[in-house]
Amino acid sequence: MIDSRAIISDEASIDPSVKIGPYSIIDGDVKIGAGTVIGPHVVIKGPCCIGQDNEIYQFSVIGEIPQDLKFAGEHSVIEIGDRNRIREFASLHRGTKGGGGVTRIGSDNLLMAYTHVAHDCQVGNHVILANAASLAGHVEVQDYAILGGFAVVHQFCRIGAHAFVGGATKITQDVAPFIMVDGARARAVGLNKEGLKRRGFSAADITLLNRAFKRVIKSRPTDEAEWAQLYELAKQNESLAQLLAFIKTSTRGIVR
């Protein structure tokens, strides 16, 4: 299952069912779970832990040291879940001491060609990064978010669950859950209605979230009474509660 032209470190722990193509290099303390397929010319450097049934395509690099001048060789890792597809020339780097030492990527994600996940990023599940989308250090991307091609995200920003970021969009603030943003300098353009429909959100939920978008993203509540009304509604709706909690905990501000 491992091509004779691949180079495998004695430190690596690889399930017998893993396939590794020619000229790939597995260097250091690397753990790879059952059913994972690694194409030719892939470089994986430890410490690194990769789960089951992943597909890693040619010329991708996983676990390289971070592109952070403060990195001084300290112990750090990258952790990757199950059933991810990591396409050609993707680069995923280990964490740093300043960010907790761990870059994490969940399960069932698609990272298209030339995507970049920098040090200490936290990527959830069912996320799509289209071609050449790039996350700077310490970025959080929550479940089911989609970033269009060539989208770039500034350090320490958060992309909320079910958000949609248009292609070539520059993100310098947090993107709230369920929202679509677009533009060279990102602007919130509406609720991600089609995405929510595809994921089984009810018409009532979508209507409520659309009203919330107009009240807290497109404009701003003008007094405490209006916020209180929204929080009262959120007691009956988990999605609205998620949106309001995200906004409340934002430190960089919200894309509006």
Average pLDDT over every residue of 107-121 = 99
Task: Give the chain's domain count.
Answer: 2
> Is 114 found in the same domain as 14?
yes
Q: Is the bond into 16 cis (omega within 30 degrees of 0)?
A: no
Indicate if the pLDDT at residue 166 is higher than 80. Answer: yes
Task: Decide if 40 is inside a domain.
Answer: yes
Final residue of a structural domain among 141, 160, 179 = 141
Which of 141, 157, 186 lies at the terminal end of a domain, its last residue?
Answer: 141
Known catalytic residues are 119-120, 137
For residue 157, what are its two tokens?
């920003």
Which of 79, 66, 68 lies closest to 109 in space, CA to CA?
79
In a domain, 66, yes or no: yes
In a domain, 256, yes or no: no
Quick one: pLDDT at residue 62?
A: 99
As a whole-number percent, the residues of the chain with pLDDT over 90 amount to: 96
Helix, strand and coil in the chain, % to nearest 5? 20, 30, 50
One-letter amino acid for residue 6 of the chain: A
In the chain, count H helices and then E strands: 4, 27
> Average pLDDT in the 173-202 region?
97
Question: What whole-number distance in Å separates Cα of residue 191 and Cα of residue 150?
Answer: 21
Q: Answer whether residue 103 is part of any domain.
A: yes
Shared-domain flag, residues 126 and 62: yes
pLDDT tens-digit readout, 194-244: 999 999 999 999 999 999 999 999 988 778 888 899 999 999 999 999 999
Same domain, yes or no, for 135 and 41? yes
Check whether residue 54 and residue 126 sit in a common domain. Answer: yes
The pLDDT tens digits for 62-108 are 999 999 999 999 999 999 999 999 999 999 999 999 999 999 999 99
Measured from the Cβ of residue 88, the count of other Cβ atoms closer than 10 Å reads 17
Same domain membership, residue 53 and residue 119: yes
Do 199 and 135 lie in one domain? The reply is no
pLDDT of residue 60: 98
| pLDDT at residue number 222 | 74
Same domain, 24 and 135: yes
Give the pLDDT of residue 220.
Answer: 82
In sequence order, the 6+-apart residues with CB closer than 8 A to the CB of 37 are 18, 19, 54, 55, 56
Domain that holds residue 15: 7-141
- Whether 34 is covered by a domain: the verdict is yes
Whether residues 11 and 137 share a domain: the answer is yes
Which of 141, 158, 174 is where one domain is finished?
141
Q: Note whether 123 and 207 are same-domain residues.
A: no
CATH code where residue 81 lies: 2.160.10.10
Strand order in the sheet with 146-147: 19-20, 37-38, 55-56, 85-86, 110-111, 128-129, 146-147, 164-165, 179-182, 187-191
For tokens 């970049």, name the residue: 116
Q: Which residue has the higher pLDDT, 228 or 167?
A: 167
In the chain, what percentage of residues exceed pLDDT 70?
Answer: 100
Domain annotation covers residue 255: no
How confident is the model over 37-58, as a mean pLDDT? 98
Residues 112 and 208 in one domain: no
Same domain, 51 and 125: yes
pLDDT of residue 140: 98
Mean pLDDT over the full length of the chain: 97
- The angle subtended at Cα 194 by Cα 191 and Cα 197, nearest 5°, is 105
Mean pLDDT of 108-126: 98
Residues 108 and 206 in one domain: no
Residue 223 is predicted with a pLDDT of 80
Compute the average pLDDT of residues 15-42. Answer: 98
